[in-house]
Structure 1
Amino acid sequence: MTAPVLTTPAELYSRLFHGDPVPVVLDVRWRLGDPHGHEHYLAGHIPGAVHADLDTELAAPPAPESGRHPLPDPAALQRAARRWGLDQGRPVVVYDDNGNTAAARAWWLLRWAGVGRVSLLDGALAAWRAAGLPIETGEPAPPAEGNVVLATGQLPVLDADAAAEVARTGVLLDARAAERYRGETEPVDPRAGHIPGALSAPTGDNLAPDGTFHSVEELTRRFAALGVDGTTQVGVYCGSGVTAAHTAVALARVGVTAALYPGSWSAWSADTTRPAAVGAAPG
């Protein structure tokens, strides 16, 4: 069974307090340059939510050839999922406090690992707060160990060569901010610019002003303007494979399964044999 991509705060509240089974809720607080996700979680989270650490549980250690957030080792991901209390077949809802730009990584990883019943909380923590729903503080008791068995490889991934090929023959979307795509600034990675042939598709444009995802109709128009017409292969990348997952979620909303380049620009730009395009044109 595959869950809807998104769930609303009202739906999650009902499932938390009246559901059978009650979903596992993962709090994925992370922002580039802010290492205090766990502290933010302790200051206020959805009741019963478990903190999932993006750097140590949703990624392997960084390396130049695989980027700042490589995919985690499958066995390590399964250990983390069991620590979160995830049982076989139990539903999962994930959220963060930044429009789900980090939580989307957990959504994508779990679906990649064969967990179909995983959804994003639309609007993230801000929507939960705006609905007047309860917030819990402090560190809760750890959940009972789960028994989930993960089977990775259920969503497509790209390496650098495959990403270059998609840029030539399909649609490769760069989910970073437009100024990073153009090469005007590069705050963290070795070189500025973008993969030649990639199209700029900033993650923030997936969201409405209130932080919820745009409607399916609006997202369909957005991606159609970028050449996503249902007939060609689509790939996504960003700086390190985190916010690109957000665009994979948006594409899933319109029925498109995109291939993720986990190494993204952090791996591509570290390889001096790879070309870098600059400017607004794909190059």
Structure 2
Amino acid sequence: MMSDLPLDQVRTLLAVVDEQSFDAAAAALHVTPSAVSQRIKSLEQRTGRVLLLRTKPIRLTASGQVLVRFARSLAQLEQDALSELGLGASVRTMTIAVNADSLATWFLPALAGVPEAVNICFDLQREDQDHTATLLREGLVMAAVTAAPQPVQGCTSHRLGRMRYRPMASPAFITRWLSDAPLSSALPTAPQIAFDRKDNLQDRFLRALTRRRTFTPVRHHIPASESFVDAVTAGLGWGMVPELQAASRGDALVDLAPERPLDVPLHWQQWKLDSPALAAVAGAVARGAKVALR
């Protein structure tokens, strides 16, 4: 039972996950690495389950994910209680997963709308919108901007709006690669920019355009949102650029198919916690999304 779990051991598990090593967790907790190792071993013996895979990076088992979610919820509730009582440190740390394009456009201005009195320290983890829900499920974050509408177990889900992407390229790229054939014939073989190997927006657009399933173009991986748009502007390839970023590039970028935007619905998922801080952040994110998203 959760009530039988030694809280110092549960907090130690959370520290190991957040710090990603036993030595770093020991430094954060002001104990020795052997004490950290002993606490984790005792917690595993108490639960009868392996909680951590001692790999690099450290990975949680399914049982470990359950306990980390419990530990993070407990930490947030403790911070809220201390703040309301006026005792101890009132700064709360909030872990949030967010996709790179939201982070580069509307998300930070939204967080700036959180009232200063809430006194939050944000710990943002960047991940593809199709994978941010996994971080919630693993207990690594408390909230996430995600493409997944179905709530993760123990979470609520609210729709934020649609982030619109447009297939963009530079005028010089169009002249070199796309001027001698219809777009549906030329684009699948033209060089392409992708954010990383999880980024499937370009292929999604190509499937809708051509009704084909697979493509083997030259594909450059540029894992930074602004640099991604810079690469498209420089003519390295074409790519699906957020409408919010494309507008600032003016004539340097051309929309290859103005009638075929690609919309990605975004949702806000958060743990079911009665936390004033979490509610304040959710409200600010919803207000920012209402202004920026479709």
Larger Rg: 2
TM-score normalized by structure 2?
A: 0.24
Structure with a larger share of its residues in helix: 2
TM-score normalized by structure 1?
A: 0.24
Structure with a larger share of its residues in strand: 2
